[in-house]
Structure 1
Amino acid sequence: MAKHPQQVAELGEGELLSRIFPRLGGPRMLVGPGDDAAVVGAPDGRIAVSIDTLVQDQDFRLEWPGGYRTTGFDVGWKCAAQNLSDINAMGAEATSLVVSLTLPGQTPVSWVEGLADGLSAALRALGAVDCAVAGGDLGRGGQVVVTAAVTGDLRGRTPVLRSGARPGDVLAVCGALGEAAAGLALLESSLDYAELDGRQRALAAVQSRPCPPLAAGPAAAKAGAHAMMDISDGLVRDAGRLCAASGVCVDLDPDVLQQESATLADIAAKLDVDPLQWVLGGGEDHGLLAAFAPERVLPRGFRRVGTVLPRLEEQGMVTIGGELPSAAGWDHFAG
């Protein structure tokens, strides 16, 4: 009886791709995976494009201190989610993903199949109904690296940029704040994953399989959002980026932030952490941060977290009740 291949090194590139392609596909592809390039329709005449990378031991661990093992499905889902979120933040709707995958030879074939399944499952579950994996590249390397480029269709709408916030605007968020950071803290802790309760596991899942609110981006664009961006590196850091692009400051409401952090207080107490730090500095929830005119009714799912103010050189761009925040957010190259 022929031995069933267990590791990717036991397969040729063509055979490995033959395991991946049937797990992908979807609507709107004029030419899909398998040719030298994909062909994707662009009905609007404009294409929104973004790209993101997940690197083993930088963006995920194959095995966490508490014993949780990251599945290929987790990485595929997260890859899709973070890319879809960037397109969402422009008020566009995703139309295709192109994925570059680097693998060590000893990677289990089942892990790679799971990654392809995770990509497809995320597109379906998150509501990216017109998006499919259109192709990509496959190579061998010392660690797992997954890079995906995503295209999106604006459907005739004006793209919502970071640079449009105006003094007097309401600053609002849609999606979770701090949950992915809480999940990361649980995964990084010495707590045995097998002994975590249901809520703790759900927070760990937010880190492994984020769920960006994809309906909210187009809804905010239709509602006239002046500015918008994905919250990937923490509320404070990303609010600062919006401020820098728009030439404004923002003041976050301390009472609202305390309400947000209160929902994580029990988990934070278990880990001896201030939950407000997760809300302010934790990233990877992939919600939306947007500025709306004060007379606008906020679209469903958005909630007010602060106010946009004129730029004043003597203060920081982001304050909380007029005071500088204690959390900075994620920076890939900071110590």
Structure 2
Amino acid sequence: MAPSPNQEASNTPDDTVTLGAVGEFGLIARVTRERIQPAATLLGPGDDSAVVAAPDGRVVACVDVLVEGVHFRLDWSSPVDVGRKAAAANLADIAAMGAVPTGLLVGLAAPRDTPVEVLEGLADGLWAEAGLVDVGLVGGDVASSSQLVVSVTALGTLEGREAVTRSGARPGDVVAVCGRLGWSAAGLAVLTRGFRSPGAVVDAHRRPQPPYAAGPAAAVAGATAMIDVSDGLLADLAHVAEASGVRIDLRRTAFAIPDRLRDVGSALGVDPVDWMLTGGEDHALAATFPPSTPLPEGFTVVGAVEEGTGVTVDGEAHEGPSGWQHFT
């Protein structure tokens, strides 16, 4: 018997409700029903566009794309984890500009036979992470594709401040970081070896914990440059060094190694500082400050800005990859 138009010819169990069965608008209704929008959302989902407040007349905007098999695996992470991770990657970028998030837009592409419960879990994760900074999902789009792809656009406000860019670092500044470093890389190393514990590092890979409030706090304190550590500290600080026309030198001994990373590194034969220098997806914040500036809570000095170019560790070039690069 041939399948009906709403029945998928796949391995999906017959009693599983799929995206093809409910359709684009049915899915949108499911993931937006009874959601409470914050005050910044003047008009939410349901019209041709959303309306989001822009208190100081400027909008900070960024976008990030997560592709199944490249950025996440559903046998390693739950749909809720993936949703939180997708939101976190963008919300951290807003924070890295010294801004405060105001809303998220979500583009979703998925196969027709994707179970709706997977997509509802994804939406739950997006809403949960957005709720940490009091924003909502204000709109988006759904399309059919051969694999699951999540694209998130985050909006934010500078609250009257100037944006903290990558180009403001000056010789004499200190380099400081806030948030976890190396945890996600350690978790990925554990997962790729077929293990699921220790849970703390595996969960750090599945669900990052960016220090969102630290971005605006750094801006208020006088940060001269700032960046979200998404691809690896060395790789991301290289963008700051290039944009600012300076050299950044990190001190290896400045990094306090958490006991859990030390234990995992010992078990896997990896120096945990290498994870902290080159591992991505923790979404910590790295910033430069004038030397006399009192650092905001949570920031730790790990290096200095000097004359020259590039990024060094203890005055020497780092051997090996400096972080994640998509096309190499």
Opposite residue 36 of structure 1, the aligned amino acid is: D
User: How far apart in 1 are the matches of 2:259 and 2:325?
Assistant: 26
User: How far apart in 2 are the matches of 1:308 and 1:45?
Assistant: 33
Check conservation: 1:261, 1:276, Cα contact below 8 A.
no
Shift of 1:320: 1.0
User: How far apart in 2 are the matches of 1:37 and 1:96?
Assistant: 13
User: How far apart in 2 are the matches of 1:318 and 1:303?
Assistant: 18
Map of 2:127 onto structure 1: 120
User: How far apart in 2 are the matches of 1:143 and 1:275?
Assistant: 34
Unaligned stretches of 5+ residues in structure 2:
1-13
Deviations 1:103-137 (A, max 9, x none): 1112111111111110111122xx311x2111100
Structure 2 counterpart of 1:260, from 257, 271, 275: 257
Opposite residue 183 of structure 2, the aligned amino acid is: E
User: How far apart in 2 are the matches of 1:254 and 1:181?
Assistant: 18
Map of 1:142 onto structure 2: 146
Q: Secondary structure at the match of 1:242?
A: helix
Unaligned stretches of 5+ residues in structure 1:
none
Q: Which is further off, 18-27 or 48-57?
A: 18-27
TM-score when normalising by structure 2: 0.92
Check conservation: 1:25, 1:134, Cα contact below 8 A.
no
User: How far apart in 2 are the matches of 1:112 and 1:252?
Assistant: 42
Deviations 1:267-308 (A, max 9, x none): 012222222221111001101010001101111000000000
Identity of aligned residues (%): 47
User: How far apart in 1 are the matches of 2:287 and 2:176?
Assistant: 5
User: How far apart in 2 are the matches of 1:309 and 1:244?
Assistant: 12
Map of 2:63 onto structure 1: 51
Opposite residue 20 of structure 1, the aligned amino acid is: V
Aligned length: 313
User: Kindly tell me: are residues 235 and 103 of structure 1, through their superposed partners in 2, closer, same or farther at Cα, counting changes over 3 Å?
Assistant: same
Listed as ranges, the matches of 1:32-43 within 5 Å are 32-43=44-55
Whether 1:74 and 2:86 are equivalent positions in the alignment is no
Shift of 1:62: 1.9
Opposite residue 58 of structure 1, the aligned amino acid is: V
User: How far apart in 1 are the matches of 2:259 and 2:25?
Assistant: 51
User: How far apart in 2 are the matches of 1:24 and 1:99?
Assistant: 15
Whether 1:293 and 2:290 are equivalent positions in the alignment is yes
